[in-house]
């Protein structure tokens, strides 16, 4: 199911970019492929280490300083080894703790949003959408996702974005501070 959704998102990006390219010459579309690194925050920090992955994004220019974005990606967070109760001491009735390796968490975010350019190089980014989560031995889940950030166009083809991405589901938050380094063409 997740592969089907990711394939649909990538196909949508392709169709939208083809449609945008057929518009008049004064409007442009930029496609970027990026590598992402992520530091877990909130509830995710207690069970996961550093995350990494990649994403594809289409940006449609709607004015000189505003772009509309559509993106899809894949991130994986390696699990920590934590201490959990594994038995009880029969004399003291206190729990006996042992190590437990938390499985990796995989996230597939599908987001839409906007970029507002403050200068030619610096922009603000805001995206919202849906993320799909999975972990080995667990049922999959999904939830509303939001991702505000600030970016910098190092060159016409190299873009850096620092963002906070959060997803809320059933009272817990899966969130991280991320860095996206992307190549635009």
Confidence of residue 131 (pLDDT cuts 50, 70, 90): very high
Tokens of 115: 């970029």
Burial of 18 (0-12, 13-18, 19+ CB in 10 A): exposed
Confidence of residue 3 (pLDDT cuts 50, 70, 90): low
Burial of 127 (0-12, 13-18, 19+ CB in 10 A): buried
Q: 2-14+28-184 maps to which CATH number?
A: 2.40.160.20
16: helix, strand or coil? helix
What does the pLDDT average to over 8-22?
48
- Residue boundaries of the structural domains of the chain: 2-14+28-184
Supply angle C-alpha 52, 5, 168, rounded to 5.
Answer: 60
Burial of 105 (0-12, 13-18, 19+ CB in 10 A): buried
pLDDT in tens, 52-92: 999 999 999 999 999 999 999 999 999 998 888 888 888 88
Q: What is the pTM of this model?
A: 0.78
Instruction: For residue 78, report the phi and psi dihedrals to the nearest 5 degrees.
Output: -75, 140
């Amino acid at each position: 199911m997740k592969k089907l959704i990711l394939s649909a998102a990538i196909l949508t990006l392709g169709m939208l970019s083809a449609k945008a390219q057929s518009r008049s010459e004064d409007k442009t579309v930029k496609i970027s492929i990026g590598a992402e690194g992520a530091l877990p925050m909130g509830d995710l920090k207690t069970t996961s280490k550093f995350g990494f992955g990649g994403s594809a994004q289409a940006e449609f220019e709607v004015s000189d300083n505003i772009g509309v974005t559509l993106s899809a990606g894949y991130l994986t967070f390696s699990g920590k080894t934590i201490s959990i109760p594994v038995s009880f001491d029969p004399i003291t009735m206190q729990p006996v703790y042992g190590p437990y390796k938390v499985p990796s968490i995989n996230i597939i975010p599908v987001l839409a949003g906007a970029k507002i350019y403050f200068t030619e190089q610096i922009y603000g980014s805001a995206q919202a959408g849906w993320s799909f989560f999975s972990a080995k031995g667990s049922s999959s889940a999904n939830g509303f996702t939001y991702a505000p950030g600030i970016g910098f166009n190092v060159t016409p083809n190299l873009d850096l974005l620092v963002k906070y991405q959060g997803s809320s589901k059933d009272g817990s938050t899966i969130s991280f501070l991320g860095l996206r380094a992307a190549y635009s063409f």
